[in-house]
């Protein structure tokens, strides 16, 4: 009996993109890879821009609709787990695409046809093409009933792990639904205008002249109505603008660096806040990160804006664990410290929909212990009268208000200064002209001064 090889799928086909995107989901869910890492791994050797774009788009879509897809897969197949296990991700992706009946990403018949073709073109899934065809068509025969049944499960209601939703309900009893809606939305494109080059309003005028609708939503923040590749942004390659959410842009301004100061950016990667600090003042800046690869990204970001920094500034990049001060600190105290400490990332789920699926309930406590350790170590490197700015891209109270309160309790020489505290979607800085689409990512800010007499 001859073994026939499955047909080779064309890169331009939806079937090819479905297989690759499902493999991305498998790497995230079963190997613990980040979504971006998984996409990079699965697109090695993919040559056509169309295929690369489709794989990335489907992978992000699949993560955002994963709960619905998983629940429908179990309900309609009648099995808690399909074999081989990666088939569960392919089916979840297919059901996710079929879920929305009014404005689907692809016509339903195209999805079914290409899902079956994807199985046919895969040695791993070849035997599952009949199952895939039957399950998907079963859904389409009575889609409203299947949706209603699936929505009895909280996993399908919110497309997030149940424990994550409960954490939001507990931490934000009045706003959890708004925060869930933001987590499911597409993130806005917001840029930081380099104040050494122009004002935010002047950049809006440039965008308008280029046919791009935009609005000023912060001192240097501009919201662009229709997201575009960064290469299409006027002045991006020249360092005139950088992509950075309006909430993240608060950090450098709150630390308020002054010319000649010695500043520490304790957890610098990917470098957005590092660059902003250098745009605001001529400083001696030390930027740390524990990952050499991530520190390379900081260097790339600074290299792009460096031609605009015409004053006397200095930047030292160091690979180090920030809490292990003996490995990197030269003993000269800092005037200011930006402590953007590691956290769950619960405030940036709309940009990184893989985060809730990669985290576990006990991660909050583990990260909290690390955050306390980091802050205690960094405080010892701050000069009397200096400022430490605590930042997390989290909306969990344990990584925000509770963390700041515990720090104050443990450090009698710390004086709290005015800071935004929790930055949430419901407190949009966009104004009436920008609306919910321009709402900030979720962040927390606390600002401490070391007593001058300490």
Q: Which residues are catalytic?
A: 393
Which two structure tokens, joined as six digits, stand for 75? Answer: 């309900």
Q: How far apart are CA 308 and CA 286, in angstroms?
A: 19
Cβ distance 257 to 336 under 8 Å?
Answer: yes
Q: What residues are paired with 338 via a beta bridge?
A: 265, 389
DSSP codes, 142-211: THHHHHHHHTTSHHHHHSS-HHHHHHHHHH-TTTHHHHHHHHHSPPPEEEEE-TTT--HHHHHHHHHHTT
- Report CA-CA distances (Å) from 359 to 105, 178, 354, 356, 406: 28, 21, 9, 5, 24
- Report CA-CA distances (Å) from 114 to 22, 91, 110, 265: 13, 12, 6, 48
The three-state secondary structure class of 301 is helix
Those residues with Cβ within 8 angstroms of residue 360's Cβ, 6 or more apart along the chain or in another chain: none
Those residues with Cβ within 8 angstroms of residue 21's Cβ, 6 or more apart along the chain or in another chain: 42, 54, 55, 58, 59, 61, 62, 93
**Residues comprising the chain, all counted:** 454
Which two structure tokens, joined as six digits, stand for 103? Answer: 């404005």
Cβ distance 394 to 445 under 8 Å?
Answer: no
Q: How far apart are CA 438 and CA 441, in angstroms?
A: 9
């Amino acid at each position: 009996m001859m073994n026939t090889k499955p047909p080779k799928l064309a890169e331009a086909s939806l079937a090819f993109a479905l297989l690759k995107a499902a493999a991305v989901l498998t790497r995230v869910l079963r190997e613990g890879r980040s979504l971006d890492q998984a996409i990079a791994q699965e697109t090695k050797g993919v040559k056509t821009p169309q295929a690369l774009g489709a794989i990335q788009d489907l992978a992000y879509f699949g993560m955002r609709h994963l709960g619905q897809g998983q629940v429908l897969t179990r309900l309609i197949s009648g099995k808690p787990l399909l074999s081989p296990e990666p088939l569960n991700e392919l089916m979840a992706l297919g059901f996710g695409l079929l879920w929305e009946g009014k404005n689907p990403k692809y016509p339903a018949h195209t999805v079914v046809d290409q899902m079956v073709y994807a199985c046919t073109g895969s040695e791993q899934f070849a035997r599952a093409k009949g199952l895939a065809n039957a399950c998907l068509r079963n859904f389409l025969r009575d889609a409203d009933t299947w949706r209603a049944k699936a929505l009895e499960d909280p996993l399908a209601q919110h497309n997030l792990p149940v424990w994550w939703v409960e954490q939001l309900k507990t931490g934000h009893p009045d706003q959890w639904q708004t925060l869930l809606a933001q987590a499911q939305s597409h993130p806005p494109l917001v840029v930081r205008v380099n104040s050494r080059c122009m004002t935010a309003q002047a950049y809006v005028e440039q965008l308008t002249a280029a046919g791009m609708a935009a609005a000023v939503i912060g001192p240097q923040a501009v919201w662009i109505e229709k997201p575009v590749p960064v290469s299409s942004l006027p002045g991006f390659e020249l360092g005139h603008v950088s992509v950075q959410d309006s909430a993240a842009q608060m950090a450098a301004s709150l630390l308020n660096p002054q010319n000649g100061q010695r500043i520490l950016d304790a957890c610098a990667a990917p470098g957005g806040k590092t660059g902003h600090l250098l745009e605001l003042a001529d400083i001696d800046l030390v930027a740390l990160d524990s990952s050499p690869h991530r520190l390379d990204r900081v260097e790339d970001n600074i290299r792009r804006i460096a031609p605009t920094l015409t004053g006397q500034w200095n930047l030292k990049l160091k690979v180090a664990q920030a809490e292990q001060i003996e490995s990197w600190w030269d003993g000269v105290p800092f005037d200011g410290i930006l402590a953007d400490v590691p956290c769950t990332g619960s405030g940036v789920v709309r940009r990184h929909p893989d985060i809730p699926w990669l985290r576990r309930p006990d991660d909050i406590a583990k990260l909290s212990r690390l955050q306390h350790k980091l802050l205690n170590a960094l405080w010892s490197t701050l000069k009397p009268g200096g400022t430490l700015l605590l930042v997390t891209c989290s909306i969990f109270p344990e990584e925000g208000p509770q963390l700041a309160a515990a720090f104050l309790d443990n450090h009698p020489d710390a004086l709290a200064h005015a800071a935004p505290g929790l930055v949430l979607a419901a407190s949009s800085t966009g104004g009436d002209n920008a609306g919910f689409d321009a709402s900030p990512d979720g962040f927390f800010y606390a600002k401490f001064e070391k007593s001058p007499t300490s």
